[in-house]
Amino acid sequence: MKIYMIIIILLLLGAFFVISENKLSLRNPDDRIELGKIYFSWVAQIFQNGINLVGDAIKLEWLPENKTG
């Protein structure tokens, strides 16, 4: 339950960051559409980066080398 709350809080903070950085007004319908475009492309990029990170971590050699004879 705590993890879900942390994720929700981080996503909300991200939305607030997008709003402030792009000077968007939630009262303007055009700005809400722009917010949706920017926000969901940002979230999609986060998931893509996560996929790339996990893929790269899987490719690494995690076991130590056998140095015995």
pLDDT for residue 69: 58
pLDDT in tens, 15-60: 999 999 999 998 999 999 999 999 999 999 999 999 999 999 999 8
What's the pTM? 0.70
Instruction: Using pLDDT thresholds of 50, 70 and 90, give the confidence band for residue 61.
Output: confident
- Cα separation, 45 vs 53, in Å, equals 12
| pLDDT at res. 67 | 76
